[in-house]
Structure 1
Amino acid sequence: MDFLSIRQRLSQALIDLAPRDRSGDPGLNAAILRATSNPGGLVRAALAYESSLERGLGETEAEAIACGIEYFHLASLILDDLPCMDDASTRRGRPCLHREHGEGAAILVSLTLISRAYTLLGAATAGLPERDRLACQTLIDQALGARGLAGGQAADLSHSAGIRNARDTARIALRKTGGLFILALLLPAIAGGATSRERSALRAIAVYWSLAYQALDDARDLVSSDAASGKSTGRDRLLGRPNLALVLGLPAARLRALRLAGLAERRIAGLAASGLGWSFLAEFQRVRFRPSGAGAQAA
């Protein structure tokens, strides 16, 4: 299935599986619909979907896993845009959710999306052996909690102008961005009975991709306009947030992204050469993630 078809399928699924309540508050329902009907690149969702099919999961399970992970991502973006965070005005080419529906509604939408995501992923992994089911639960906690996305966001907020080295900046980036890429590759792998060798390679690929994406996103924040990127730009410099392009300079940040993409390519080739499968990852990187110019397609 080509990416356009996958994107169309998942775009509709995000609306169909959204946590709306027909008899509930109309304002909240409207905000949920608004949030779920304006998808971005859906790279994490598409990655989870294709990974699930690669491991032999059914269409229903693949769709549930993909939407669950995308709901986590969407909730994080809605919260990240709030005045107490990045105070952004634009996201995906439209006013941020809190600008249209209010801060309270935006927070509630995020909570409902997170709740629905846990429900979808829990249902998709309910039939697994206990060891694998617990491994999936641990993976989700690590991706989203204090060791992952939430912890990375906290470090981002408290960073101010203190960090001026690439290593610490990359560590924060990995916690903010890496968790959902790791989840998109590893949760389907665990659910599909992948070997420990596969899991190790997939984790490395997810780390390389997330760091490459963040380096390019940092560059975009410095040089792109709101209209071109579809979101508020210039926030890192203004708010004193960690930004690899600010630390290294634009050419070095882009070069690092290309090097990381090359490392991912080697890991992908190693999986294919060893007969473990996952050949779709090479095409995934080439078409939807390969860094070029000012950024990748993982928005």
Structure 2
Amino acid sequence: MNTLDSEGMELAAALQEHAPRAPGMEPHLHAAITQTATALGSLLRARLVLSAARSHELPEAVALPLACAVEYFHAASLILDDLPCMDDATVRRGQACVHRVHGDATAILAALAFINRAHVLIGLAYAAHAPAVRVRTALLLDDTLGLAGLVGGQARDLRFGEGATDRREIAVIAAGKTGALFKLALILPALAVEPSAAEFRLLKALAVYWGQWFQACDDMKDVIGTLMNAGKDTGRDQALSRPNLVNALGPGAAQRRIDRLERQLARTSRNLQALGARWNYLAEFHAAITGRARARAA
């Protein structure tokens, strides 16, 4: 179980507060939702949203629900990813997967409940904003969660091996499965302050680099990690013939790729900060997550 800092505890409380629940709801579904809302990971995406929202001076009544919404999308994707028809995983975040405890059907319904709740939270957060901002929010959700993002990436992941299996295809899948949620976490809170074309371009580039970096680190963990330090099944990519940069390139080349992505992230972050102080939070956030990644690898 993770030891949470003050921000983590704040997010944990908000994730409980905003979780999808209703009086008299079916008890197995309630239990599956409770398990998901309390089995916390690093809260990386939620922390990114919260840092961005506070940097952009959004009210706390907006910042925390937005952070919860992105984390709910992420949690739902993990529930679905672990199903027997997907990765057939047994352990997630140090405990039995939701479908292993509550059954496949209940797990799917729990994922749908979190997705629905996330859409509601985002809609309420931006209800008072200009129509143009609400339209851009809707388009961002479609871009990051739909066929161009999470859904499309997972579909390609499932069929990996039937077509190209080179580094480019692995990168395309990573952009959908992992990069899309980083793009959502970066851009969703920024829409409220209507970034310039230059800022928007750099935000999208940063999301790509972060997604590729995080997925490469996760691939490394799948290859050389253990159940204890990963908190989930390892060795699954090779067993299921799924895309994995380390399996494709070897650990040495994959590590050089990770190092290069870190340099690209730092450069893009500096370029954004040069456009305004409201992007200063990015450098601190990047230093924190790369530090955690190195600590886990040590």
Instruction: Summarize deviations over 1:194-236 as a string: whole Å, max 9, x none.
Output: 2222221111111101101111111111111111100011111
One-letter amino acid of the structure 2 residue matched with residue 171 of structure 1: V
17-26 or 136-145, larger mean C-alpha shift: 17-26
Who is 1:94 aligned against?
Answer: 95
Partners of 1:240 and 1:291 lie apart in 2 by: 28
1:45/1:292 CA distance change after superposition, 3 Å? closer
In 2, are the aligned partners of 1:161 and 1:241 still within 8 Å (CA)? no
- Size of the alignment, in residue pairs? 294
Match of 2:158 in 1: 157
Return the alpha-carbon distance in structure 1 between the equivalents of residues 97 and 171 of structure 2: 27
Q: Which has the larger displacement, 81-90 or 4-13?
A: 4-13
Identify the residue that residue 239 of structure 2 maps to in structure 1.
238
User: Identity of aligned pairs, percent?
Assistant: 44
| Alignment partners' CA distance in 2, 1:291 and 1:201 | 24
Q: Which deviates the most, 24-33 or 269-278?
A: 269-278
Which residue of structure 1 lines up, in the alignment, with residue 27 of structure 2? 26
- Name the CA distance, whole Å, in 2 between partners of 1:106 and 1:286: 35
RMSD: 1.6
Deviation (angstroms), 1:263:
0.7
Looking at structure 2, the residues matched to 188 and 287 of structure 1 have their Cα atoms a distance apart, in angstroms, of 20
1:194 aligns to 2:195 (yes or no): yes
Deviates more, 1:42-51 or 1:121-130: 121-130
Contact 1:55 1:192 survives alignment (8 Å) = yes
Q: Is the 8 A contact 2:82 2:97 kept in 1?
A: yes
Shift of 1:289: 3.1
Q: Alpha-carbon deviations, 1:234-260, whole Å to 9, x = none?
A: 111000011111111111112111211
Q: Look up the equivalent residue of 1:72 and give its one-letter code.
A: F
SS in 2 for 1:277: helix
Letter in 2 for 1:133: R
Question: Separation in 1 of the partners of 2:172 and 2:289?
Answer: 24
Q: Where does residue 282 of structure 1 map in the other structure? A: 283
Q: Deviations over 1:32-56 (max 9, x none)?
A: 1111011100000010111111112
Specify the alignment match of 1:214 in structure 2: 215
Decide which moves more: 276-285 or 97-106.
276-285
Q: Structure 2: where are the runs of 5+ without partners?
A: none
Contact 2:229 2:296 in 1 (8 A): no
- Partner residue in 2 for 1:68: 69
Q: Which amino acid is the alignment partner of residue 239 of structure 2?
A: L
What is the TM-score when the length of structure 2 is the normalising length? 0.95
1:147 and 1:155, CA in 2 relative to 1: closer, same or farther beyond 3 A? same
AA of the residue aligned to 1:146: L
- Give the distance between the partners of 1:167 and 1:291, measured in 2 at CA: 27
After superposition, the Cα gap between the structure-2 partners of 1:6 and 1:151, relative to the gap in structure 1 and judged at 3 Å, is: same
CA distance in 1, matches of 2:296, 2:138: 32
> What is the letter of the counterpart of residue 244 of structure 1?
L
Cα distance in 2 for residues equivalent to 1:89 and 1:160: 23
What does the per-residue CA deviation read over 1:85-125, in whole Å, with 9 as the maximum and x for residues that have no partner?
00000000101011111111101100000000000011111
- The equivalent of 1:35 in structure 2 is 36
TM-score normalised according to structure 1 size: 0.94
Matched, 1:78 2:115: no
> Structure 1's 150 and 294: CA in aligned 2 closer, same or farther, altered over 3 A?
farther
**Structure-2 change in CA distance of 1:262 and 1:281 (3 Å):** same
User: Cα offset for 1:295?
Assistant: 6.3
Q: Which amino acid aligns with 1:254?
A: Q
SS in 1 for 2:57: coil
> Is there any run of 5+ residues in structure 1 with no aligned partner, and where?
none
Offset of residue 269 of structure 1: 1.1
Q: Matched residues in 2 for 1:45 and 1:256: separation? A: 26
Q: Deviations over 1:104-153 (max 9, x none)?
A: 11011000000000000111111221111111110011101111101000
Residue type of the alignment partner of 1:275: G
Supply the distance in 1 between the matched residues of 2:79 and 2:71 (Cα, whole angstroms). 12
Q: Distance in 1 between matches of 2:85 and 2:236?
A: 13
Between 1:197-206 and 1:59-68, the stretch displaced more is 197-206
Query: Residue 220 of structure 1 contacts residue 294 of structure 1 at CA under 8 Å; is this kept in 2?
Result: no
Whole-angstrom distance in 2 between the partners of 1:63 and 1:275: 24
CA deviations on 1:5-27 (whole Å, 9 max, x unpaired) are: 22111111111111011311112
